[in-house]
Amino acid sequence: MSVIAPVVVIVVMAVTHDSFATLPGLSDQVHPWRGPLIVAAAALIASATALMVRSVRRAEEAVMRHDGDLRLADAVSAASHGRGDARSIADAAAAALLGTLIDGVALTLLPDGGDAIQAHAGHSSDLNGSPDLDVPLREGERTVGHLRLWGPNADDLRAGVGPATLSALATQVAGAAQLATDVAGLHRRRDEGEALSAVLSSISRQSGTLPTLTSLAGYARDLLDADAAAVIVDPATASTVRFDSGGDVPQACSDGTTLLGVGLPDPLDPSTGSHANPIGCHHWTSFVDQEVSGPSGSLGRLWVGRRDPLPFTARDRSFLGAMAGLAGIALTDGQARGMRSSLVQVLGELHLRLRMQQTFGAVARDAEAAAEVDALADLCHKAYCRVREVTLGGP
């Protein structure tokens, strides 16, 4: 509009001049006003010329700003291209922004479900103070990052960082944030797989129910960023499980359950002197638990707790469910080991009793009875050796 207005004035003046020249008698009527009209026309032409020059200058400045914005956006895109991780993308994008208008850059990436990534560039002494430009970076309706800039001239800084630069930054930051999310997901899947494999290996090596379940609780706590975790074994199940604890023993809770965990508080239940069941305990602001079950039904629960209010996600619950399945296998194996241990004792005692029977005179005088007792004793001894080998891993 500012460019069209001077042109309109000039056209109007030309039409007026033609009217004066063509209409008869009009020149004689305006002749007395010729001097003032000339001055007014000159002033009008000067004003129109000044307005046109100003409009052209503004247009040139807008083109230059847009060109500078595009160059800065291209520099940001080029610097971030081909980077293999979110941190290097953020650092490269921040460094690319430095120039005559920008002394300091603070760039924040906000990955979904992950920790914020901070990148800084420049030498401004105000990097910890209020920035000259502070804008969120958005991709659609989602905020993917935050940009803070410092420069020698705040007005030039705001004018120099335009929509193209912010769009390029948003694209790069969104890509970096997604990359960080994907990499974190890959690392978590790797860590979860290693944890499941380690617990399965411990079960297959028959490392013992107590150390296996304690390490399982440790994996659950660490991978879910929690403060404590425990396998809480029901009283009926605990009485049938061989824990193979060595010098350590499971913790007995005041409600009769057995506790195998890590990170649990030391204070005991004052009324009983035993540890309190952590489920529902006031120590934990956020917690999640999954049922531990076996062929005969419920064996207990796998519990994880946090002192902060950060809620557990569906993925956390899914992983905890897989760990609860392994806890069920470990407890079932512990029950089987307990039954085999009892069977070893019964077979050993039966073997000794049969050998003792052979020393009795009534048996010794009856050759047929002595042979049958001897065969039963041999059978019990062989069964004893086999079950003992399976149970203890040795003769």
CATH number at residue 152: 3.30.450.40
pLDDT at 395: 45
Whether the Cβ atoms of residue 195 and residue 219 lie closer than 8 Å to each other:
yes
Q: pLDDT at position 165, please?
A: 64
What residues are paired with 139 via a beta bridge?
A: 142
**183, 214, 232 — which closes off a domain?**
183
The answer on 282 and 154 residing in a single domain is no
Percent of the chain surpassing pLDDT 70: 58
If one compares 129 and 306, the residue with the highest pLDDT of the two is 306
| 35 class by beta-carbon count within 10 Å (0-12 exposed, 13-18 middle, 19+ buried) | exposed
Asked whether residue 74 is assigned to any structural domain, the reply reads no
In a domain, 57, yes or no: yes
Say which residue, 259 or 190, is predicted with more confidence. Answer: 190
Vertex 297, ends 256 and 249: CA angle to 5°? 35
The predicted structure's pLDDT at residue 190 = 92
Q: Quick one: CA dihedral 255, 260, 264, 270, positive or negative? A: positive
Comparing 291 with 70, which gets the higher pLDDT?
A: 291
In this structure, is residue 211 part of a structural domain?
yes
Residue 366 within any structural domain of the chain: yes
Query: What burial letters (b/e) apply to 343-374, b meaning 16+ CB within 10 Å?
Result: bbeebbebbeebeebeeeeebeeeeeebeebe
- Sheet order of strands, 142-150 included: 117-122, 104-109, 142-150, 133-139
Over residues 63-83, mean pLDDT = 58
Q: Which residues contact 264 (CB under 8 A, 6 or more apart)?
A: 228, 230, 251, 275, 278
Beta bridge partners of 122: 104
Q: Are residues 99 and 14 part of one domain?
A: no
| Residue where a domain terminates, one of 14, 40, 65 | 65
Q: Are residues 218 and 345 in the same domain?
A: no
In the block, tokens 């007026």 appear at 16
pLDDT at 200 over 60: yes
Specify whether 177 is located in the same domain as 198. Answer: no
216, pLDDT greater than 90: yes
pLDDT at 68 over 60: no
Same domain assignment for residues 239 and 310: yes
Cα(first)–Cα(last) distance of the chain, in Å? 101
Lowest mean pLDDT among 14-23, 112-121, 293-302: 14-23
Residue 203 — very low, low, confident or very high, per pLDDT cuts 50/70/90? confident
387 and 267 within one domain: no
Same domain, 381 and 358: yes
Q: Which of 120-129, 151-160, 274-283, 294-303 has the highest mean pLDDT?
A: 294-303
Residue 394 — pLDDT band, cuts 50, 70, 90? very low
**Do residues 116 and 25 both lie within one domain?**
no
Is residue 39 one of the residues assigned to a domain?
yes
Q: Is residue 145 part of a domain?
A: yes
How many structural domains comprise the chain? 4
Q: Which of 116-125, 145-154, 197-206, 383-392 has the highest mean pLDDT?
A: 197-206
Q: Please tell me whether residues 307 and 205 are part of one structural domain.
A: yes
β-partners of residue 260 are: 231
Residue 192 lies inside a defined structural domain of this protein: yes
Residues 182-189: contacts with CB under 8 Å, at least 24 apart: 183/85, 183/86, 184/111, 184/113, 184/114, 188/223
**Confidence label for 252 from pLDDT (cuts 50, 70 and 90):** confident
DSSP of 126-182, one letter per residue? TTTS--SEEEEEEETTEEEEEEEEE-S-HHHHHHHS-HHHHHHHHHHHHHHHHHHHH
- The encoded tokens of residue 321 equal 């469910």
Domain enclosing residue 158, as ranges: 82-183
Together in a domain, 369 and 306: no
Q: List strand residue ranges (DSSP E) for the chain, in order.
A: 104-109, 117-122, 133-139, 142-150, 228-233, 251-252, 258-262, 286-294, 297-306
What pLDDT, on a 0 to 100 scale, did the predictor assign at position 93?
Answer: 67
Bridge pairing between strands 228-233 and 133-139: unpaired
Of 334, 354, 383, which residue constitutes the final position of a domain?
A: 334
26-35, 101-110, 179-188, 369-378, range with the lowest pLDDT: 26-35
The 10s digit of each residue's pLDDT in 373-388 is 788 888 877 877 877 7
Q: DSSP code of 269? A: P
- Nearest CA-CA partner of 274 in 301, 255, 302, 249: 255
120: how many CB neighbours lie within 10 A of its CB? 16
For residues 248-276, give the mean pLDDT.
70
